[in-house]
Structure 1
Amino acid sequence: MSIIYIKKISRGLEQQIKNNVLAIGDKLPSLREFCKIYGTSQTTAIKVYYELESKGLIETRPKSGYFISGSLKRIPALPKTSQPDPESGNILIEDLLEKVYNNPAPINITLAHAVVADELLPIAKLNKGLIQAMRELKGSGTGYGEIQGNEKLRRQIARHTFNMPDLRHEDIITTTGCINAIAYAMMALGKPGDTIAVESPVYFGILQLARSLGLKVLELPTHSQTGIEIDALKQALEANRINLCLLVSNFSNPLGSLMPDEHKKEVVRLIQKYNIPLIEDDIYGDIYFGANRPGTCKAYDESGLVLWCSSVSKTLAPGYRVGWLSPGKFKSEILRLKLFHSIASTNITQEVIANFLETGRYEHHLRKLRNTLHTNSLQYIRAINDYFPDGTKVSRPQGGMVLWVEFDKKIDTIKLYDLAIKKGVSIAPGRLFTLQNQFSHCIRLNYGTPWNDSLDKGLKDLADIAIQLSI
């Protein structure tokens, strides 16, 4: 087949993408189907798709095929690297948090909460799993479990964690969700008055927790693609300013950043050099859009200073509150805290999750969830590009479920929230994700709901309000 014919097919597909006949997220024919449609060889089909892929218009997804991933339109710029003030005071706007998360106003489009919609979760299979667990557990699961947690679950977590082959079930303690794991870690490692280093912006729950324990928070510059700025962390460690660190290494909330492996190695090298513990929040690590799950800082830890925390709250069953941590050298301290605070975790829900992992259902569910969320993220970016004010910047996460949007500084996103909620659209203003006077022109958007016309309209309504505020 001639190069001219390959170019002709490629241009035809490009035109369909340009005219929105093929939209972002649409699946392209398989190589076999392509050959039937165009009467070509598989070699020609591969060359056509390779040309479109080289232009950023399509992408391959593991075990799923080829998908439209871009358009011929301009792609929004990335948000700027944050520049928090190292001397700024710790101020949390608690009334804003209360307003956003306990607002009685009717909401049609929920973009504020970092959660997956019920329709994307295998609820019927989980219900069957509950019945099975009741039959298998002594006393139908009503009794206390082990202090360290359900052994079957801990074994399955260790087996599921391919990027940490040395992790054993004895190294894992189960908790009531990931935030509970982080809380135990903070309580074990810090005392009132100590300073914890975090990314900026960072999930507000981490800020609340740190403040409730009397910890001071040092926010460090963070890039929307690569996470914490290593030089800033190094300077803080050299100046002896911090007592512990907390980093969301994979697809952070709210930026969606992914620390490259070389950054993870360097972070571990630095904390080992200065003997500073690292709490690693890896709750989003299983929601990756690439070919392989990203690694962890824990995988490079030889000192036991990294406490790796995770959960199925973002991927499988938020209400089950099943989480865990691998506490490294701090295992005895964490176990003691768990005994004092909760005695044991909920055994029956842990058994359900253990069975889900053991049967392979979790991986099957994750493959579908990743594809859906990846498509959603592309649809959101397309809508932001089409509707939002000129100059709007947006993150481009490689996993997770949230986007970080940066407007012109004249747009106050607390006002944007107040006006959007009247139209039944909820957002998370950027000011929630810092203790400093910054990010007031930013918002976090959740893309954990299947894309539909209502979502598209909700984003257009949000854009119209932002345009009015920018005038």
Structure 2
Amino acid sequence: MAKYEILAHQLKTQIESGVWLENEKLPSLRKKSAESGYSLMTVLHAYQILESQGYISSQERSGYVVTAKNLVGNRPLVQTSESVSINDFVFDVLQASKNPHMLSLGFAYPDPSLYPRQHLNKSVAAAAKQISLTSALDNLPPGNAELRKLIAKRYAARGISISPDEIVITAGALEALSLSLQACTQPGDWVIVESPTFYGAMQALERLGLKAITIKVSPTTGLDVAALERALQTHSVKACWLMSNFQNPMGYSLSETKKQQVADLMEKYQVALIEDDVYAELYSTANNTNKSPLPIKHYMHNSSSMLCSSFSKSLVAGFRIGWVAAGARALSIQKQQLMSTFETSAPIQLSLVDYLSTKNYELHLKQLRKKLVARKKAMFAFLNEALDGVAKIYIHEGGYFLWIECHLSVDAMDIYHEALRLYITVAPGKLFSLNDEFNHCFRVNASFELNDAKRNQLRKLTEFIKQITPSKR
């Protein structure tokens, strides 16, 4: 750990423990340099880090002043982590979701019964008849040419101009996101992610030896753009991994204004944007919306954006077909893919070409969106009534997640373990963060249809949550 990081950590600990109180002035740079034995530049760098994290602020003629006493529930908007370790916990949670007897509300994919299995099976059979001796070669990176054209046409229908030549087909969206990271970073580089964020982002950072800067997001307003810029100002950031539409786990979408602001910042600070857009097709039709929301990439003028998506959430999970619209980095990503997975399944790519060309994908999406809206409303109504006065439940248009925020003293891991005992899985907040700031929260997959048996299961879990929640006085 560098000297300025040691000093910043010491001061942060002092602020959190009450040595320095809110609105209290810190020692001047010269005084702190004399006290600590560090150079003026080291002290200045440490103060700048604390300022970017929201602990102190620079005030004219007053120097640096403590802005907040960062207790639980009042965390800084920007936090850093020199190392990322999440894989073991993710593995344990996902293993529990594999039990077929579970009500898998912790699952990341929609209810499998919502997929058009019969039509997909017919497309698989049709593709099998088309496979030739050269099919493997034809589907090497960047992937099947016809499939890339079909994806580009779907983007064009959304008003997004993407050439088939910049699309690389991958083994799911997570591979697309991981390859995108490798294309613009080296081990030890700083990468910005949201907090909470999709656990796959933290897994990728851990595997690639990258350092994380987390920007705290709100379940109502989303990303704090000012905090994002502070992080870009104070660190040499190489990439920013964001989810602007129906964010996992909170479910919010950024406004068009915020998307434009983020795009402007990426270009201003010359930072690569890696955008996870896997839920874009699952917009709500409740308010007569008939078009997928635009990604941040749409608002960018240069080619430093990599837009990643897949068919796993909207069509079928098991096919594991994703892609990245990589712009100028398409060739670099193809080379990375050849050294890792080599290629994405040729039969599956051909199956998707057949399905998208001959089946009514739009009709399936229309039916899927309608069912997701109804099921999420039903789940929200049930949980909102059962946990009234005990927890705050956040619901947004689009996607299929609910974010549940319990009392600060409640540990969502206790809820997770009790849920397992009741043959239910939920996704505890710990799964989506590098620290403990969301330990009182959990995510629910609301794509499953409720019946009496499932309501009875959930009612037992909500009673448990009530029991461990302190009563109001």
Same fold (TM over 0.5): yes
Match of 1:46 in 2: none
Does the 8 Å contact 1:247/1:280 carry over to 2? yes
The 5 Å alignment of 1:93-112 reads 94-103=87-96, 107-112=101-106
1:201 counterpart letter in structure 2: P
- Residue 142 of structure 2 is aligned to residue 185 of structure 1: no
Contact 2:217 2:223 in 1 (8 A): yes
Aligned to 2:208: 213
Which residue among 97, 113, 117 is the counterpart of 2:111?
117
The corresponding residue for 2:79 is 86
Aligned partner of 1:275 in structure 2 is 270
3-state SS of paired residue (1:399): coil
Cα separation, partners in 2 of 1:173 and 1:251, compared to 1, 3 Å: same
Tell me if 1:349 matches 2:343: no
Q: Does 1:200 find its partner at 2:199?
A: no
- Of 450-459 and 294-303, deviating more is 450-459
1:138 maps to 132
Distance 1:81 1:394 in 2: 19
Where does residue 427 of structure 2 map in the other structure?
A: 428
More deviation, 138-147/362-371: 138-147
Which string of whole-angstrom CA distances, capped at 9 and with x for unpartnered residues, describes residues 21-46 of structure 1?
xxxxxxxxxxxxxxxxxxxxxxxxxx
Q: Which residue of 2 aligns with 1:127?
A: 121
The residue aligned with 1:454 is 453
Is 2:383 aligned against 1:384?
yes
CA distance in 2 between counterparts of 1:160 and 1:97 reads 33
Equivalent residue of 1:138, what SS? Answer: coil
Q: Is the 8 A contact 2:80 2:214 kept in 1?
A: no
Q: Which amino acid aligns with 1:301?
A: M
Instruction: Flag structure 1 segments of 5+ consecutive residues without an equivalent.
Output: 1-79
Corresponding residue for residue 399 of structure 1:
398
How big is each residue's C-alpha offset from its partner over 1:169-204, in whole Å with a ceiling of 9 and x where there is no partner? Answer: 112110000000001011111111111101110011
Stretches of 4+ moved more than 3 A in 1? Answer: 80-85, 87-96, 103-108, 139-144
- Give the structure 2 partner of residue 150 of structure 1: 144
Q: Which deviates more, 245-254 or 233-242?
A: 233-242
The normalised TM-score by structure 1 is: 0.79
Pick closer, same or farther for the CA change 1:389–1:167 going to 2, 3 Å: same
Contact 1:196 1:215 in 2 (8 A): yes
Q: 2:18: which partner in 1?
A: none
What one-letter code is carried by the residue in structure 1 that aligns with 2:319?
A: Y
The Cα of 1:452 is off from its aligned counterpart by: 2.2
- Report the CA distance shift for 1:442/1:89 in structure 2 as closer, same or farther (over 3 A): farther
User: Taking structure 1 as reference, are residues 352 and 221 closer, same or farther at Cα in structure 2, changes over 3 Å only?
Assistant: same
8 Å contact from structure 1 (residues 388, 460) kept in 2? no
Report the Cα offset of residue 339 of structure 1. 1.6
CA contact (8 A) 1:82 1:222 kept: no
TM-superposed CA distance for 1:142, in Å, is 6.1
Query: Offset of 1:140 from its aligned partner?
Result: 9.6
Question: Hey, what's the Cα distance between the residues in 1 that align with 2:252 and 2:74?
Answer: 11
Structure 2 counterpart of 1:48: none
The 5-angstrom pairing of residues 309-328 of structure 1 reads 309-328=308-327
Any idea what SS the aligned residue of 1:286 has? coil
Q: Is the 8 A contact 1:91 1:436 kept in 2?
A: no
How far has the Cα of 1:82 moved from its partner? 7.4
Q: Is the 8 A contact 2:84 2:212 kept in 1?
A: no
Structure 1 residues 88 and 307, CA gap change in structure 2 (3 angstroms): closer
Contact 1:199 1:219 in 2 (8 A): yes
State the shift of 1:313 in Å.
0.7
Tell me, yes or no, if structure 1 residue 260 matches structure 2 residue 255: yes
Larger RCO: 1 or 2 (CA < 8 Å, sep 6+)? 1
Shift of 1:163: 2.6
Distance in 1 (alpha carbons) for counterparts of 2:105 and 2:260? 34
Could you say which residue in structure 1 is the equivalent of 2:230?
235
TM-score (norm 2): 0.79
Task: Tell me, yes or no, if structure 1 residue 416 matches structure 2 residue 415.
Answer: yes
Distance 2:467 2:101 in 1: 21
Asked if the contact 2:244/2:253 (under 8 Å) is kept, the reply is yes
Whole-Å separation in 1 of the counterparts to 2:417 and 2:379? 21
Query: Is the CA contact (8 Å cut-off) linking 2:275 and 2:308 kept in structure 1?
Result: yes
AA aligned to 1:401 is Y
Question: Please, which moves more after superposition, 320-329 or 442-451?
Answer: 442-451
Spell out, residue by residue over 1:422-464, the C-alpha distance to the aligned partner (whole angstroms, 9 max, x if none). 1111111111101112211100111122232233223212201
CA RMSD after TM alignment: 2.1
C-alpha distance in 2 between matches for 1:95 and 1:394: 28
